């Protein structure tokens, strides 16, 4: 049996391993076939931003044999201007939240989730989100994220664990699904 540990990120080494896994799975470095079959991440972070985000609300990671093999980033609204690629998402999300009367909801943003290719299809994604909810639900009512419509694998996985659509929109020529997982 594989000994996998789900925990909050604590060290710079763990944060660097998140960035390393991010680079392996970034859309720009993958073939169309790989993106279609395995999914992808759309945004890169700097160590500085990732570290500040972690200090405010530690990320949830998956480790096996001391190595980060999956992560789910915790992104508070306070960091909305720190990742330029996400600014349009935040602006769009603000309008949707107001229009759907969700302004009173205590939510955070899933800054990104990724599982190492070798650990996929083993329940790691589902268990990572289970840990995410257990750790964060005392302080938050929901998590909101966007999934690129071309990332069918990610969309299906998110819906399977309980995310529901808020809206679909186009940004910079890409279609995005804004989704929410309510915990209360």
Residues 35, 52: Cα–Cα separation, whole Å: 29
Which of the pair, 38 or 45, is modelled with greater confidence? Answer: 45
4-8: strand order across its sheet: 4-8, 60-64, 67-75, 107-115, 142-148, 174-182, 164-171
- Model-wide pTM > 0.85: yes
Structural domains in the chain plus CATH codes: 4-182 (3.40.630.30)
DSSP letter at 58 equals: P
Dump pLDDT digits (tens) for 124-176: 999 999 999 999 999 999 999 999 998 898 999 999 999 999 999 998 888 99
pLDDT on residue 166: 94
């Amino acid at each position: 049996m594989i000994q996998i540990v789900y925990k909050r990120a604590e060290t710079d080494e763990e944060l660097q391993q998140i960035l390393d896994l991010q680079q392996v799975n970034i859309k720009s470095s993958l073939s169309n076939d790989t993106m279609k079959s395995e999914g992808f991440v759309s945004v890169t972070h700097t160590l500085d931003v990732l570290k500040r985000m972690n200090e405010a609300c530690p990320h949830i990671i998956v480790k096996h044999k001391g190595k980060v093999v999956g992560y789910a980033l915790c992104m508070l609204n306070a960091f909305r201007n720190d990742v330029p690629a996400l600014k349009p998402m935040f602006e769009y999300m603000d309008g949707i939240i107001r229009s759907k009367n969700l302004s009173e909801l205590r939510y955070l943003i899933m800054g990104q989730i990724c599982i190492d290719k070798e650990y996929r299809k083993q329940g790691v994604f589902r268990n990572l989100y289970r840990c995410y909810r257990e750790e964060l639900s005392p302080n938050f009512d929901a998590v909101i994220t966007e999934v690129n419509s071309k990332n069918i694998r990610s969309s299906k996985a998110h819906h399977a664990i309980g995310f529901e659509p808020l809206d679909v929109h186009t940004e910079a020529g890409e279609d995005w699904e804004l989704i929410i997982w309510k915990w209360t």
